[in-house]
Amino acid sequence: MELFRKTNIPFMRLKWQAIILSTAINLLGIGSFLFLGLNLGLDFTGGTLIELGYQEQVELNSVRAALEAEGFGGATVQNFGSARDVLIRLQPKGDTDPAALSDRVYQTLSQAAGGQVELRRVEFVGPQVGKDLTEQAGLAILYSLIGILIYVAVRFEYRYAVGAVIATIHDVIVTVAVFSLFQIEFDLTVLAAVLAVIGYSLNDTIVIYDRIRENFRKVRKGTPEEIVNLSVNETLSRTVITSGTTFITVLALYLFGGAVINGFALALLVGIAVGTYSSIYVASAAALMLGISRADMMPVKKEGEVLDGLP
């Protein structure tokens, strides 16, 4: 079976529309980030999270009342996964020893429910740890971008590298924007997913770039725009199939992987979709507009041949 047999879609004819669309979405994303902010998870804000498993379905209000009575005001209480699982979030305040907060909450609720409560999960993150993590998270994204920029610049040419990095930043912004717009919790695993999106989005971009380079050398006629169009068309089948299969696997993760991994899977789903679009309309279009040409590929040709000759 073949879905795309010798397509010849003039992708680059729509490059301006694509750029306007991308810019608009990105501005929306940045705006949302600035005005709504991110619903940062415990990993970054610090605080205490307790997940309890009750034997039977439990009234959240009774849990709240039990907490209120013991002086744990301001706790967020919600169901998690099922009606028997309850998630409680608390912010440390005052002089209380934050590390022992979870023990006291568990004790209180366990007594209130006659000992029929199972402690499923405790996460406590001190404020200093959260601050460190936020800083490291930013650095991690920065380092991967720099690493990729250098690699692509060496393997191809700087215009391609800039295009790839613009596309990657585009994907990161869109993915983060979804979390900001819908105020979905952004925790450490989501951050890991964003970093994986960087890798994935690039994977797609590189495959198209590889073909552009090859076609510049092979096809002697045609404007750069025609070459880019040809390359995108030639790789279209692969792009769609790979994105499709990866999307399916991550969808399985999203649907069946459990509540803990939901945010992570969602970030990947968004990232894969956006990454596929951006490798065509952002990375290739940006490289094209930065003025890639046949001549640029000449100095790199020697190195390319050496690598092509590997077993």
Partner 1 sequence: MNRYPLWKNLLLLAVVLVGLLLALPNVFSQDPSIEVTAARGGEVNEASAGEIKAALEGAQVPFKAIEPAQGGKLLVRFKASGDQLRGQEVIEGSLSERYNGAMTLSPDLPGWLRALGVRPMFLGLDLRGGIHVLIDVDMDAAVAQTRERYTNDIRTLLRKEKVRYLSVGTDAGRIVIKFPDSDSRDKGRELIGDEMRTLVLSAEGEGEGATLLAVMAPAEVQQTQTFALEQNITTLRNRVNALGVAEPIIQRQGDRRIVVQLPGAQDPARIKEILGATATLEYRLVDTEHSVQDAVDGRVPPGSKLYKERNGAPVLLSRRVIVTGNQITDAAAGFDSRNGQPMVTVALDEQGGRRMREVTTENVSKPMAVVFIENRTVTSRGPNGEVVKRQELSEEVISIANILEPFGRRFQTTGLDSPEEAHNLALLLRAGALAAPIQIIEERTIGPSLGQDNIDQGFRAVLIGFAAVAVFMIFYYGVFGVIADLTLMVNVLLLLAILGLLQATLTLPGIAGILLTVGMAVDANVLIFERIREELRNGSSPQASIQAGFEKALSTILDANITTLIAGVVLFSFGTGPVKGFAVTLSIGILTSVFTAMLISRAMVNLIYGGRRLSKLSI
Binding to partner 1, residues 54-93 (CB under 8 A): 71, 93
Q: Which of 79, 103, 108, 222 binds partner 1 (CB under 8 A)?
A: 103
Q: Which residues, numbered 236-265, are part of the site for partner 1 (CB under 8 A)? A: 237-238, 241-242, 244-253, 255-258, 260-261, 264-265
* Contact between 8 and partner 1 per CB under 8 A: no
Q: Which residues, numbered 130-169, are part of the site for partner 1 (CB under 8 A)? A: 136-137, 139-140, 143-144, 147-148, 151-152, 155
Angle separating helix axes 60-69 and 98-112, nearest 10 degrees: 120
Quick check: helix, strand or coil at residue 79? Answer: strand
Closer residue to partner 1 (CB): 25 or 188: 188
* Contact between 310 and partner 1 per CB under 8 A: yes
Residue 206, φ and ψ in degrees, nearest 5: -60, -40
Q: Which of 109, 195, 228, 297 binds partner 1 (CB under 8 A)?
A: 195
178's tokens: 């979804």
Q: Site for partner 1 (CB under 8 A): how many residues?
A: 86
User: CA-CA distance, 282 to 156, in Å (whole number)?
Assistant: 17
Return the number of other C-beta atoms located less than 10 Å from residue 211's C-beta. 21
Q: Which amino acid is at 31?
A: G
Which residue from 154, 160, 130 is spatially nearest to 289, judged by alpha carbons? Answer: 160
User: CA-CA distance, 261 to 256, in Å (whole number)?
Assistant: 9
For the bound state, the minimum distance from the C-beta of residue 234 to partner 1, rounded and expressed in Å, comes to: 7
For the bound state, the minimum distance from the C-beta of residue 36 to partner 1, rounded and expressed in Å, comes to: 25
* Contact between 113 and partner 1 per CB under 8 A: no
DSSP classification of residue 109: H
Q: Which of 234, 285, 292, 296 binds partner 1 (CB under 8 A)?
A: 234
Quick check: helix, strand or coil at residue 90? Answer: strand
Q: 201 near 278, Cβ under 8 Å?
A: yes
Q: Which of 109, 167, 174, 206 binds partner 1 (CB under 8 A)?
A: 206
* Contact between 18 and partner 1 per CB under 8 A: no
Closer residue to partner 1 (CB): 15 or 137: 137
Q: Which residues, numbered 264-293, are part of the site for partner 1 (CB under 8 A)? A: 264-265, 268
List of E strands, the chain: 47-54, 76-80, 82-90, 117-125
* Contact between 298 and partner 1 per CB under 8 A: no
* Contact between 307 and partner 1 per CB under 8 A: yes
User: CA-CA distance, 198 to 170, in Å (whole number)?
Assistant: 10
Closer residue to partner 1 (CB): 15 or 198: 198
Q: Which of 8, 35, 95, 299 binds partner 1 (CB under 8 A)?
A: 95
For the bound state, the minimum distance from the C-beta of residue 198 to partner 1, rounded and expressed in Å, comes to: 5
Classify strands 47-54 and 82-90 as parallel, antiparallel or unpaired.
antiparallel
* Contact between 31 and partner 1 per CB under 8 A: no
Return the number of other C-beta atoms located less than 10 Å from residue 129's C-beta. 13
